[in-house]
Amino acid sequence: MSRMLRLELLVLVLLACTQILTEHRDFFESRAQYGYHSRFHDPTERVTRDVRVKQGRLRGFVVQPRTNHDLQPVDVFLGVPYAEPPVGSLRFSPPRSPEPWRGVRQSQEFAPVCPQVVPKLRDEVKPVRYEYLERLLPYLRNQSEDCLYLNIYTPHQPEGQKTARKYAVMVFIHGESFEWNSGNPYDGTILAAYGSVVFVTINFRLGILGFLRPGIRDDTASNFGLLDQIAGLLWLRENIADFGGDPDSITLVGHGTGAIFANLLLISPVANKKGLFNRAILMSGSALSADAIGKAPLQITKQVAHALNCPTTTDSDLALCLRGQDVNTLLNVKIHKPSYVPAFAPLIDNAVIPDKPVNLMKNPQFFGRFDLMYGVTESEKFQILPPVALLHGMVDGQRDEVLREHAKATHELEPELILSKILEQYSDFSAGFTNEYMLKNRDLVLEALSDSGTVAPLIMTANLHSRANPKSYMYVFSHPKAMQDYSGQQRQRTMHGEELPYVLGVPLDGSKYDLRRRYNIGETLFSEAMMNWWCSFAYSGNPNIAKRYPYLTDGLKEWDQYNIDWPEYDPQNQTYLNLTIPPSTGTQYRFAEMQFWNEHLPNLLRHPGKDIPLPLRPRGRRPQILDIADGIGKYANASRDYDYGIRFRGDNHQSETTVPDIGSTTPDSTTSRSDEEVIPQPSTPKSSSVITMLTGFGVVFLLINFTAFVYLYCKKQDAKTTGTGLKRRVSQKDESRRAKSEKYENNYGELGYKSDSKPDLNDVIKNDKAYDNNSNFGRRSKLSRQNSGSTIDTHIKVREWIQQEIVHR
């Protein structure tokens, strides 16, 4: 029996090793997240016909999608220049039209990406984010300031045969960050072949080169990254017809920060008056996000100038100095800023972005002119937390610190009040304190940051747009992967970016190393449906257009579940399509949370003295006594003064004392308030319940102490009555005990200690080798606990452990 058990265990171990090796085999191949096996095309592939554009002739290569079904071939043109290289005197300047070239330009390799500092893999959590970046980062190694290029994927046109059909154009604006990434990794071959569209990706300036204001005046030219995108759209308007695209049917497709860029282009007077696009798809982002517009651009410019010893007397002197710096020196400038505030982001410059986005979006002539589709995943800020917090959870102090700093970055006012309201809105106390309490804290933070940073701003965007244009469609991507991750864990909530492979047709492509085995046949059909919806919207502004192709996967029974009407969004019902298998419609996505961020919290900050009820939510209410214990909300300054580092405390204090209609009207933001305003009045139900609870605790404590006192008093009286008899017996044995004590006083450490009288503890520690600095034996620990004059805060020890864990990783 035992032999059979060993054999079965051996077989299981071998199978596990085989599975691990098979799953990780593809990591040693050169590949992209959504692209080819390598950065270069297969030399056996055919070349395209020569395409003549304004600047000269281009020649790409033809790709035949390697799917299980017959898809049309695709012409691919990589590294197509759309502007002059922004180097030398053109650094920190708007882009210029590209110079013409002679002969045929070979567009068969990716051009360099713009200079950037990419994230470090060792700082990412395995397997989710780590695996994603491991495939993405190889495409970001080749960097140069000469980086303003497009990649074009278009249905194949044979040599000498020009099709009369014009394809809709989808311009993909990449996301991830304002400071890193590129359009190169996103392969549009399958989408172009399946949906008969022209798919374009674009590289543009990022970070300090793309969004630093190179001057101290407010009207100094900036937003060079956005201007690069506009230059690319101008080039496409003039030339995309030569690739088979329709210049009058261009759709912006932005993801993450790319969705912020696309939204800003929709409301920019520089871009939307030129007829550069007709509609947009905003995936997980909008211009109403708190980080969509950069903060304190003058301070950042001065920090850069100070770090590089550049003069700020005039804008021309500063720009001249910045253009003379080495690019690596520029990238390595350290910016001191609050947490969760981007160092470089789009700026209000009186030209490209002349006003706050919310003011521009209220103008229906700007925003309502364009058809719009938009949506989110279920967890949009998964990557914002450190790996240890994601894997092991967060203690209360870490949870509060993240939420407090995020409140400072997004609202700039009353972080303690906002923290208290967030905990009241999102905390679930119905189940009490369980073993998964730290994981619940992590999930609370992820939910709050996702709603605040992405979902609530996108709902506001939807409400503004749908009032001006009925062609407004919302989705929620909620389909978890059918296949498990390498860790063997199956996540229940979709994360930021998980919808992209389905939109780009990755489940259909059998040539993407081994990736297809990680999607089942139902997900392949699901990817087909998503490509149909996206391409239908690109053609008509309505995702419900009749399918141009029958589905290639599964049969008629499975196809029927996708015969669903995608309803238009309206501010009342807030109808959306739930993208999962099978898809379904829903209304008022996370309605209570959206009310909290878009209505309740702004009203509370405008009128902090009023008691505004929170939206209804199916969670246990957070007891008010926890605010007192944690020292947050109205009780932030009641018992202790927190110090959370340098976070522009002086500026916040000044705003609180000089702007009475915002800062000084909040109970916890000023010391000039009376005590009655800081502490709730006993007439309110909440305060009376708290006082009753505290009184009860006090009475119980007094009863315990009184009982202990009576017990000790009785014992003392008993000791007095028996003391006389004991004294007589002790005196009889005193002489013999003294002799034994003298006999062993020099060697008690070796033979053991038998005397009832205790020796001096300092002498024990001095003579006992178990108490040297390099040991931690049981006796040392025991005596240390006995003589410790202070207690150890377990929260501090957990925090130290997590910090050590982060350093170790």
Give me the CATH number covering residue 204: 3.40.50.1820
| Contact criterion met (CB below 8 Å) for 311 and 215 | no
Q: What is the DSSP string of 448-489?
A: HHHIIIIIHHHHHHHHHHHHH-S-EEEEEE----SSPPTTS-
pLDDT of 206 over the 70 cut: yes
CB 207 within 8 A of CB 223: no
Which structure tokens are listed for 461? 């965007």
Helix H or strand E segment including 397 = helix 396-410
Instruction: Give per-residue pLDDT as tens, 71-111.
Output: 899 999 999 999 999 999 999 999 999 999 999 999 999 99
Average pLDDT score over the chain? 76
Which helix (H) or strand (E) segment is 698 a member of?
helix 685-744
690 domain residue, yes or no: no
CA 587 from centre of chain: 25
Mean pLDDT of the 448-460 span: 96
> What whole-number percentage of the chain has pLDDT above 70?
66
- Tell me if 124 is assigned to some domain: yes
From the list 52, 71, 51, the residue with the least C-alpha distance to 63 is 71
360-399 burial: b if 16+ Cβ within 10 Å, else e = bbeeeebbbebbbbbbbbbbbbbbbbbbbbbeebbbeebb
Scored b (16 or more CB within 10 A) or e, 466-501 reads bebbebbbbbbbbbeeeeeebeeeebeebbbbbbbb
In a domain, 641, yes or no: no
Q: Is residue 408 part of a domain?
A: no
Q: Where are the beta strands (DSSP E) in 47-193?
A: 51-53, 56-59, 61-63, 74-81, 104-106, 149-155, 167-173
Q: Tell me, what's the pLDDT at 387?
A: 83
Handedness of CA 537, 538, 541, 545 (dihedral sign): negative
Residue 24: the pLDDT is 38
Token pair recorded at residue 309 = 């010893």
Cβ pair 214, 295 in contact under 8 A? no
**pLDDT tens by residue, 702-735:** 777 777 777 777 777 766 655 544 444 444 445 4
280 inside domain = yes
The answer to whether position 439 is within a domain reads no
């160092």: which residue's tokens?
Answer: 343
Residues in the chain: 809
Nearest partner of 520 among 491, 462, 478, 479, judged by Cα: 479
Range in 16-25, 59-68, 241-250, 350-359 with the lowest mean pLDDT: 16-25
User: Is 505 among the domain residues?
Assistant: yes
Tell me the C-alpha distance between 66 and 299, whole Å: 52
| Residue span of the structural domain in which 357 resides | 49-97+114-153+165-386+454-610
Q: Which two tokens stand for residue 215?
A: 């001057």
328 within domain boundaries: yes
Cis peptide before 759 (omega within 30 of 0): no
Residue 511 to residue 67: CA distance in whole angstroms: 7
Mean pLDDT of 686-695: 53
Average pLDDT over residues 370-395: 90
Residue 399, C-beta contacts closer than 8 angstroms, at least 6 positions apart: 441, 442, 444, 445
* CA–CA dist 204, 206 (Å, integer): 6
Supply the pLDDT for residue 33.
42
Whole-number Cα distances in Å, 516 to 34, 421, 446, 558, 578: 12, 45, 30, 20, 24
Contact in structure between 76 and 153 (CB atoms under 8 Å):
yes
Q: Residue 575 forms beta bridges with which residues?
A: 587
CA angle at 508 for the pair 503 and 514, rounded to the nearest 5°: 110
Q: Tokens 């509609």 appear where?
A: 279
Which pLDDT band holds residue 332 (cuts at 50, 70, 90)? very high
Give the model confidence (pLDDT) of 614-662 as tens digits. 665 555 445 454 555 455 554 454 433 333 333 333 333 333 333 333 3
Does the pTM of the predicted model rise above 0.85?
no
Confidence tier at 330 by pLDDT (50, 70, 90):
very high
The whole-number pLDDT of residue 275 equals: 85
Question: What total of structural domains would you count in the chain?
Answer: 1
Dihedral of CA atoms 182, 185, 189, 192 in degrees, nearest 10, equals -30
Range with the poorest average pLDDT among 186-190, 273-277, 329-333: 273-277
Picking from 468, 411, 398, 531, the residue whose alpha carbon sits closest to that of residue 801 is 398
Peptide bond into 65 cis (omega under 30): no
